[in-house]
Structure 1
Amino acid sequence: MTDNHLTRIAAPGGVAPGTGYSHVVVGTGTFVAVSGQCAFDEQGGIVGTGDPGAQARQVFENLRRCLAAAGAGFDDVVKLTYFVTDVDHLDALRSARDAVIAPDRLPASSAVQVAALVHPDLLMEVEAFAVLPGPGRP
């Protein structure tokens, strides 16, 4: 899939197609890095203790807000990295992702199971890299 500043390659020659991600995303423009986002609300409280779906939705809302602060949106995301305390939480993350990213605009992604996150009630953290067309913010 190609738009004006990003090209997504779901399955390069000789590589098995991925499920739910692009193997390669090439972009030109301004690079944006968003730190790992967890299920914290605006006051720093944890949303959805024990509920992977609620936490995933809050994580993607926080990502949306961070991307917007840089003048970006989910269409500009080229890479997501998922950190989960249990790989079973990936389904909730994919559902939250699919609510905001079209299937023909899937970024590259990696998923890692970790022993713990910054707080014991957190189930997941997601970081994002994006590319904006043209020059970036000062």
Structure 2
Amino acid sequence: MSRQIIATAQAPAAIGPYSQAVRAGTTVYCSGQIPLDPATGALVEGDITAQARRVFENLKAVAAAAGGSLDDAVRVGIYVTDLQHFAAVNAVMAEYFKPPYPARSTIEVSGLPKGAQVEVDAILVVG
């Protein structure tokens, strides 16, 4: 099975030795997105809600570049630096996903790149 590397200028460029996403067959593995502005590469300003919206916008752009959408997500991983943000991130996620929701994990971590408060990765199955 061949791999197709997914890249788009509509999401931040990778800040390490990885691809924004890799497609293998109909499965797309999206790398974690942090709340970076794709135009500037800077961390967005604002609270956890603003950061979560930017993360999901970035993930949405990567999904589109892979020929899919967030509706194709079968699994989402959320990493937050403070589980007190759980409800706020859930509220933003509900703006981007509709039932039936993908499987998901939410994990508190001690830190994220560039001082982000939230990071999200996903696995999609695209037609």
Which TM-score bucket, shorter chain as reference?
0.7 to 0.9
Letter paired with 1:131 = V
How far the C-alpha of 1:100 sits from its partner, in A, is 1.4
Give me the whole-angstrom Cα distance separating, in 2, the residues matched to 1:100 and 1:86: 21
Q: Answer yes or no: is 1:58 the counterpart of 2:54.
A: yes
RMSD of aligned residue pairs (Cα, Å): 1.2
The 4+ residue runs of structure 1 with deviation greater than 6 A are none
For residues 46-85 of structure 1, give each alpha carbon's deviation from its aligned partner in whole angstroms, at most 9, with x where no partner exists.
1134x10000000000000000000110110000001100
Determine helix, strand or coil for the equivalent of 2:114: coil
Residue segments in structure 1 that go unaligned for 5+ positions in a row: 1-28, 134-138
Check whether the contact 2:35–2:55 (CA below 8 A) recurs between aligned residues.
Answer: yes
Determine helix, strand or coil for the equivalent of 2:91: helix
Identity %: 39
Aligned with 2:85 (options 89, 112, 115): 89
Tell me which structure has the larger Cα radius of gyration.
1
Structure 2 match to 1:47 = 44
Letter paired with 1:46 = L
Give me the whole-angstrom Cα distance separating, in 1, the residues matched to 2:90 and 2:31: 19
Q: Answer yes or no: is 1:119 the counterpart of 2:110.
A: no
How far the C-alpha of 1:97 sits from its partner, in A, is 1.1
Write the mapping of 1:93-104 to structure 2, written as runs, cut at 5 A. Answer: 93-102=89-98, 104=99
Q: TM-score by structure 1 length?
A: 0.71
Q: TM-score by structure 2 length?
A: 0.76
Give me the whole-angstrom Cα distance separating, in 2, the residues matched to 1:85 and 1:44: 20
Higher relative contact order (CA 8 A, sep 6+): 1
Give the aligned length: 102
